[in-house]
Amino acid sequence: MKDVKPYPVDPSYSDPPVIETDYSTWGIVKAVQYGIIKRVIELVEPPDSQLVGYDVNQLDDEDVSLLHWAAINNRLAIAHYLLSKGAIIDRPGGHLAATPLHWAIRQSHLSMVHFLMQRGADPMFMDNTGLGCFHVAIQMGNIPIIVYLLSHGVNVDTRDGNGLTPLMIACMHVRSVDIFRLLISYGANLRLTDSHGNTVAHYSVQFANFQAVVQLDKGDIDWNALNDESKTPYEVRVVPWLTDRVKQMATVQSMMNSSHRFSRLGLSMLHYSPVWRQRITIMLPPLILITCGLLINWDIPSTLYHLNFINQSSKISSWIIYSTKFLLLILLSFIARFIIDRFSDHKSQAVMLFSLATSTTLLLTITYLFHITLHTPNYWILHFWFLFFITMLWTTFILCCTKNPGYVDDVIKKECQQETIAQLLDEVLTHTNNLTLANNNNNNQEESSSSSSSSSILSINPLQRFCTTCFIRKPLRSKHCSTCDRCVARFDHHCPWIYNCVGMMNHFYFIIYLLSTSVSCNLFMLGSIVYWQNEFSCLSNTSLTSEKTDLLTTIWSYLLCNPWITFCFINGAFYSFWTTLLFCSQFYQMVWLNATTNERINMDRYVEFNTNNNNNNNNTTTTTTSTTTTTNNNSSNSSISSIKYNRPYDHGIWRNLLDLIGLPGFIMNSNKPVDWRQIHQMEQLNIQSSIYHNHHHSDNNDVDKKLLDWSI
């Protein structure tokens, strides 16, 4: 019996045969766009001596040269060949009269930018709109190319043909904070003006760029600068959600620069002062804690009796007392919320949490040492262990707050940063470009296919491990903390409770702080229970003298006999709960996995953790006048759920613990502890990552190792 084919017709399930394309009829422009280098050579140097070769400097119908098409499509081998045949590297072309370097920058081809710059391309050449290469990179928001041009001598304040600085152009076109951080940290002058007297402050408001306003406020910006029309930045345009903010910053700035001191300000102006905002947010948590405790412990009948409002024999119902305290606590919460909304900002909020942790710990310590111990003198063993752990708590707390968490820039000389970055970029990009050219020399049929082994390498951004604020090459496991505004080695997280980052140099103290806090809070709760069982006021409660007293009645009587101890007990229980959970999480991450909190959250962004490196980036996009190739993402979507992660820093429990403590032994045959501020390559740890061996050819291994320390 014959097999019945599916209706109407089912094509073969096997892979379709590969049909070789006939390139012999292609024009030279199309051949350059698609990287058919053999066809380009045939047209430039025809095998028939009677035929005239194509002039490499000839412009097509769109006034575009061949080098432009090679640059915009990142065809390194063809660009190399065209230059060897006399192509003009700075030939203007297109309706913008831009150079091939402009085109490469617009498509974010860093390897092509490096290739052209090495061969003499002028980054200061301007197109017919007055934009130089650096200004185009700013417009496109391409940080790697911006860093590359800056490290190769381009002035950060170079003006375009219209007299605009890069920062002004960024305010007009860019909404990424990284661009502003990079330019400001590199030393851009914020006081320069255009032909109409407008500063970058005017441009940030004119184009409603909130990110620019926030970043400029951190620098040396003048919010009260006047342009030629005598207008300040907040007067050039009315943007309700932005103009008021800038006007407030201008008011604060003018007061700080004048002789009028904030200490003499009225209450209505205090929230403009950064100093007073910080003072109030620091004082608010302890005041709220003390007020809450006093309200809960307030003996209302005694107070009314001493004020002669009631007689000594008068009694007030308990529900009236509790209702009064509850209403007063609600009133206190509204007052606190008003103060927080009035004086709190992104900086003072972290200070408030730090003040809350400090004041709560101090409240529990004083209560135990000066109240519970005096009423339970026979429990000296309990008091000894509480004193031991509370001393450990305060010691580690002070160390966590004051100790350097491992700032990376402490071991890097500022004057060497630019030269080091330029050298590293040249080394990596030159090595990668040479590999691409060598591959195409071995097989000059088709550039896109011959370079497939290195296409994934070219797609790796060599500046992804670069800090645009500190302008330094970031080591492995480091991250820039937006709160501290510095790069921290082996960064875990920024903890507002200690008002500091948790990094390489204070991570061990932080874990001990969590452990001592958890144990101290549990000992405080145990001491409170002992206090309730031995305090006469609790024992004299009539409800406890009854033989039928149940457990709930006993607990309720204990809680009511001394509301202050009850208030502290609740705080201790809350702190014990979250510090215990955080300690277990931190200890498991650092000892069992040797992975920081930042690494576990962003594990898919770090190449050394990714063992399922997909080849989706191998697909290239060809830019032409009418055709753009697209890729199918179905395979990438289906593989997301199957991603598995490696643990490259896990050397076993014992060696992980040594690394956490800061003792030698994490690296084999090394008598020094690991300084994560200077670890830029996996080879420095003697770790062999299988990611590159699994997904690249063996002849590219040395290039992969070179690029590993740059990739996230």
Give residue-wise pLDDT tens across range 666-691. Answer: 887 778 899 998 888 777 776 433 33
| pLDDT at 510 > cutoff 90 | yes
Output the pLDDT for position 317.
77
Give Dmax over CA atoms of the chain in angstroms.
127
pLDDT greater at residue 546 or residue 309: 309
Output the pLDDT for position 626.
39
Residue 547's pLDDT band (cuts 50, 70, 90): low
With both helix axes pointing from N to C terminus, report the angle between 210-217 and 240-257 in degrees, rounded to the nearest 10: 10
Output the pLDDT for position 417.
61
Output the pLDDT for position 302.
79
Residue 339's pLDDT band (cuts 50, 70, 90): confident
Instruction: Answer yes or no: are the C-beta atoms of 37 and 446 closer than 8 Å.
Output: yes
Tokens of 538: 């609790």
Q: Is 94 helix (H, G, I), strand (E, B) or coil?
A: coil
Give residue-wise pLDDT tens across range 636-646. Answer: 444 444 456 78
Mean pLDDT of the chain: 80
The CA angle 470-691-659, to the nearest 5 degrees, is: 55
Give 488's strand partners: 407, 479
Q: If we measure between CA atoms, which residue out of 43, 95, 99, 97 comes closest to residue 71?
A: 99
Instruction: Answer yes or no: are the C-beta atoms of 109 and 144 closer than 8 Å.
Output: no
In degrees and rounded to multiples of 5, residue 172 shows phi and psi of -80, -35
Tokens of 569: 């007990």
394 burial type by CB count under 10 A (0-12 exposed, 13-18 middle, 19+ buried): middle
Tokens of 604: 């898919």
Which region among 32-41, 124-133, 276-285, 342-351 has the lowest average model confidence (pLDDT)? 342-351
CA 428, 431, 434, 440 dihedral sign is negative
Tokens of 88: 């003009």
**Residue 457: CA count within 13 A, CB half-sphere:** 27
What CA–CA distance (Å, rounded) separates 521 from 579? 9
Cis peptide before 286 (omega within 30 of 0): no
Which region among 246-260, 356-370, 620-634 has the lowest average model confidence (pLDDT)? 620-634
324 burial type by CB count under 10 A (0-12 exposed, 13-18 middle, 19+ buried): middle
Q: Is 160 helix (H, G, I), strand (E, B) or coil?
A: coil
Distances (CA, A) of 252 to 223, 260, 474: 10, 11, 35
Output the pLDDT for position 50.
73
Residue 523's pLDDT band (cuts 50, 70, 90): very high
Q: Which of 39-43, 240-244, 457-461, 529-533 has the highest mean pLDDT?
A: 39-43
Q: If we measure between CA atoms, which residue out of 518, 605, 440, 473 comes closest to residue 36?
A: 440
Instruction: Answer yes or no: are the C-beta atoms of 353 and 279 closer than 8 Å.
Output: no
Look up residue 414 and give its DSSP letter: G
What CA–CA distance (Å, rounded) separates 581 from 578? 5
Q: Is 653 helix (H, G, I), strand (E, B) or coil?
A: helix
| pLDDT at 462 > cutoff 60 | no
What CA–CA distance (Å, rounded) separates 161 from 130? 4
Domains of the chain by residue range: 274-344, 408-489+602-610+641-708
Average pLDDT on 42-50 reads 85
Output the pLDDT for position 707.
35
Average pLDDT on 485-501 reads 93
Give residue-wise pLDDT tens across range 245-258. Answer: 888 888 877 776 65
Cis peptide before 8 (omega within 30 of 0): yes
Distances (CA, A) of 576 to 185, 190, 567: 42, 49, 14
Question: From the CB of residue 413, how many other CB atoms can be counted at a distance below 10 Å?
Answer: 8
Give residue-wise pLDDT tens across range 101-145. Answer: 999 999 999 889 999 999 999 999 999 999 999 999 999 998 889
The CA angle 350-355-356, to the nearest 5 degrees, is: 100
Q: If we measure between CA atoms, which residue out of 134, 148, 133 comes closest to residue 427?
A: 148
End-to-end CA distance of the chain: 59
| pLDDT at 477 > cutoff 70 | yes
Instruction: Answer yes or no: are the C-beta atoms of 444 and 37 closer than 8 Å.
Output: yes
